[in-house]
Chain A
Amino acid sequence: MRNRLVRAAAPAAAAAVLLAMCAGCSGGGDGEGTVTRGTLTGELTGSGATFPDPLFQEWMSYYSESIETRVSIDYHAVGSGGGIEQFLSDTVDFGSSERYLQESELTVAGDVRGCAAVQFPVVFGAVVIALNDDALDGLILTSEVIARVYDRQITHYDDPAIAALNPGMELPHEEIVPVHRSDGSGTTYVFTRYLTTEVGFWAEEYAEGTDIDWHADTLGGEGNEGVARGVTENPGGLGYVNQSYALSAGLATARVVNEDGVPIEPTLAATTAASEEAEIPDDFQFTIDDIGGDGYPITGANWIFAYECGYDDETAALLRDFWTWALEDTQADRFAAELGYAPMGRDLKERVIREIARVNSR
């Protein structure tokens, strides 16, 4: 079974490698403000979400080649659920997930090493609505309309509800083919959580989750690639994918109306704006809801989990230094922007860096 899973992950991993390589060649590499130090040693292993994997790989290879040359950091993109599992069973040094650890999981974590778990966000990402028809690029949608499309209440692009939002646009009488992820994914979680928060009937009928019970007349695709294929190969296709994937694949995307009634194009700046709009408590247990201003409304964060105790000094120093570097160095932010991820705002970064200091502090 393990073998099958590895096989399942292989195409995703290959895509990640390609992405990382490509970013490497365009990135140049000589970022100012980065100094080769080589003072730390040791190995770090983490596992978790697939969504930030291309960025993490880029960060880790740059860090271990240009900053701390005597360390090795491994990240396994086994999925958010797998990341939580492996973190709670203490088989990795850090875990990563698209949702924060709930109280019940924090209680479990407290028993693992006899001290609390530390969790902090490191990067933001948006979920965008990709469209088959390039002529529809910039189509304006609301949460209500998106929910009704996925519930098959709205079946054509020239539906009055869509026409009312897009007065200037020529809408074809074409059937909408809604595409969703057929595998469990953090992208689905961010997307369905947004619809659950915003739309009453969605919360009752579908709710949120990494894998939900979709309407029978929607199309499933495996991974971002599968959804993108479903969108591009079917006339009338409409699906949700990671922002980073949509940017690299150059898909036509819809604008989504946020809390202030402004239709927002899914750009990285709009995602960063959303992260600044969000109210984030000191325990970093937050979701990014009710985004207004210039913020793009379907946005999620990626968390890193570590423990307050139980690391040897070498590992702890490396763990703290790596994540602090990822937040502080402008080169790290540049990688994020190139790969389609939104770095966090300055205030939030400072708070997170203070939180990172708690790792192995007891």
Chain B
Amino acid sequence: MPPTKESKRDRPPAAEGGRPRGTPQRLGDRVFSGASTGAGVLILVILAGVAAFLIAEAWPALWADSEDVTGGDGIVLYIWPVLFGTLISAAFALVIATPLAVAIALFISHYAPRRVASLLGYVIDLLAAVPSIIFGLWGVAELAPMTVGPTEWLADNLGFIPLFDGPASATGRTMLVAVIVLAVMILPIATAVIREAFLQTPRLHEEASLALGATRWEMIRMAVLPFGRSAIIGGSMLGLGRALGETMAVAIVLSANRDIVSFDLISSANSSTIAANIALSFPESSGLDVNTLIASGLVLFAVTLLVNMGARAVINRRREFSGAN
């Protein structure tokens, strides 16, 4: 979604109120403007359709007696733990992935020799094409056993931090592994967006700061990072969107429990995420249980919408100061 809005922002002001007066129109112009308007309207219709479906299907669960809802404690207490798991896994994935993505993008745009840069960029794009189930299988078969030792160390030595409260899981099927897998999955898209912005840093800005005696790091800090700030936020938010909705990888990696709300990333008691919970529970659900699951999907939809709107607001507010224009 963000890329379409991006282009809207860059549109010349003359187009704001429709076609500039006096421009000649041929058949091609009309066909093309019709087609693009149609496509724009279509995406809104699809979005509205999805929202309407979610609301209509979630409705019975929202007004049902709390004993009838899955789990027996009402819709809020059913959705809250999975919402918590969704937010915490996506947030920590972002914490890991964003600095990495910025560093990789900087390396590609400003440090690496041209050959290496293009090769690395290619490899990272390739990472985005790996199906999520592969990441999930990698997480459960390779990564999870490898984390057992380190997490035990974390629980013993850094146990005072709530995140590493422990006791560490003996199987490694923890929220921490899910977070790492998610971080790897959102890395390519975040890197790609940020890299493109860094590459577009005006050459004159960079040369000016170097001419003023800045070192390369100072030049990056003064010219490149401010220019790319909105792209860093935009890229992270795209990644966050993917992390929030990721299903298969989380469903395979996490050994989740109902009713768990805990910041402890390394114990065997984990909350599930909304998308994983839907995928795992949907096939065996019927009646009100289905409505309850769709209600949780509605919550995810709303959260994703809020995240995107928030990111947009941040980007717009920062735009004037970023040096991007």
A residues with a Cβ closer than 8 A to B are: 1, 4-5, 7-9, 11, 50, 78-82, 84-85, 88, 175, 177, 182-186, 189, 210-211, 213-214, 216-222, 226, 229-230, 233-234
Q: Which residue of A lies closest to B289 (CB)?
A: A81
Contact between B284 and A185, CB atoms less than 8 A apart: yes
Contact residues in A for B259 (Cβ distance below 8 Å): 213
14 residue pairs of the A-B complex, CB under 8 angstroms, read A5-B283, A7-B248, A85-B285, A85-B286, A85-B290, A88-B286, A182-B255, A183-B281, A210-B284, A213-B258, A214-B257, A219-B173, A220-B173, A234-B170
Q: How far is the CA of A4 from the CA of B145 in the complex (A)?
A: 27
Contact between B290 and A5, CB atoms less than 8 A apart: no
Q: A1-B278, A213-B259, A220-B173 are in contact. Are A78 and B251 (CB under 8 A)?
A: no
Q: How far is the CA of A213 from the CA of B256 in the complex (A)?
A: 10
Find B280's partner among A7, A183, A213 (CB 8 Å cutoff). A183
Q: Tally B residues with Cβ within 8 Å of A.
A: 35
Q: B171 interface residue, CB < 8 Å from A? A: yes
Contact between B251 and A79, CB atoms less than 8 A apart: no
Within residues 247 to 262 of chain B, which ones have a CB less than 8 A from any CB in chain A?
247-248, 251-252, 254-260
Q: B223 interface residue, CB < 8 Å from A? A: no
Contact between A177 and B251, CB atoms less than 8 A apart: no
B264-307, CB under 8 A of A: which get 1 and which 0?
A: 00001100000100111111111101100000010000000000
Q: How far is the CA of A209 from the CA of B256 in the complex (A)?
A: 17
Q: B233 interface residue, CB < 8 Å from A? A: no
Contact residues in A for B133 (Cβ distance below 8 Å): 7, 11
**B8 to chain A: closest CB distance in Å?**
28
- Tell me the total A-B contact number using a CB cutoff of 8 A: 109
Contact residues in B for A9 (Cβ distance below 8 Å): 283
Q: How far is the CA of A1 from the CA of B71 in the complex (A)?
A: 23
Contact between A213 and B71, CB atoms less than 8 A apart: yes
Contact residues in B for A1 (Cβ distance below 8 Å): 278, 297
Contact between B257 and A82, CB atoms less than 8 A apart: no
Contact between B268 and A5, CB atoms less than 8 A apart: no
Q: B168 interface residue, CB < 8 Å from A? A: no
Contact residues in A for B297 (Cβ distance below 8 Å): 1
Q: B140 interface residue, CB < 8 Å from A? A: yes
Q: A7-B133, A8-B248, A216-B257 are in contact. Are A211 and B281 (CB under 8 A)?
A: yes
Q: How far is the CA of A88 from the CA of B290 in the complex (A)?
A: 14
Find B255's partner among A85, A220, A233 (CB 8 Å cutoff). A220
B75-108, CB under 8 A of A: which get 1 and which 0?
A: 0000000000000000000000000000000000
Contact between A219 and B268, CB atoms less than 8 A apart: yes
Find A8's partner among B170, B247, B286 (CB 8 Å cutoff). B247
Contact between A177 and B252, CB atoms less than 8 A apart: no
